[in-house]
A = this chain, B = another copy of it.
Amino acid sequence: MAPCCDVGMHVTVVGGGLTGALAALYLASRGYVVDVYEARADPRHAAPAAAASPSALRDAALRKAADASRRSINLALSTRGLRALGRVGLAERALEMAVPMHGRVIHDKRGKLRLQPYGAAAHEVLYSVSRVGMNIMLLDELEQRRNVRLHFGCKCVALREDGSATFEKAAGGVVEVEAGRLLGCDGAFSAVRALMGRVTRLSVSLEYIDSGYKELAMPAGKDGKHAMPPHGLHIWSSGELMLIALPNNDGSFTCTLFGPFRTLESVRTAEEVLRFFETHFPDAVGLMPDLTSDYINNPIGALSTVRCSPWNFNQMLLLGDAAHGVVPFYGQGMNCGFEDCIELDDALEATGHDWAAALPIFAAERKQATDALADLALDNYIEMRDKTVDRLFLLKCRVHAVLHALLGSSYWQPSLHTAVSFTTMPYHVARSVCERQDRILARAALVGAGLVASAALWVARRPSLR
Contact = CB atoms under 8 A, between A and B. Distances in A.
Contact of A302 (B201, B204, B302): B201
A207 interface: yes
Contact of A206 (B204, B261, B304): B204
Given A203-B304, A205-B206, 7 more contacts: A201-B261, A201-B304, A202-B208, A203-B206, A203-B207, A203-B208, A204-B204
A109 to B, nearest CB: 31
A205 B205 contact: yes
Interface in A197-229: 197, 201-208
Interface in A173-209: 194, 197, 201-208
A156 to B, nearest CB: 16
Nearest to A302: B201
Interface of A: 194, 197, 201-208, 261, 302, 304
A181 B207 CA distance: 26
Nearest to A307: B205
Contacts of A302: 201
9 contacts: A194-B194, A201-B208, A201-B304, A203-B206, A203-B207, A203-B304, A204-B204, A205-B206, A205-B207
A370 B50 CA distance: 55
A194 B203 CA distance: 15
A261 B205 CA distance: 22
Contacts of A207: 203, 205
Q: Which of A197, A204, A206, A261 has the most chain B CB atoms closer than 10 A to its own CB?
A: A206
A76 B207 CA distance: 33
Closest 3 CB pairs of A and B: A205-B205, A201-B208, A203-B207
A191 to B, nearest CB: 12
Contacts of A202: 208
Nearest to A303: B201
A193 to B, nearest CB: 11
A312 to B, nearest CB: 15
B204 A205 contact: yes
A326 B204 CA distance: 15
A202 B205 CA distance: 11
Contacts of A206: 197, 203-205
A302 B304 CA distance: 27
Contacts of A304: 201, 203
Contacts of A194: 194
Contacts of A208: 201-203
Contacts of A204: 204-206
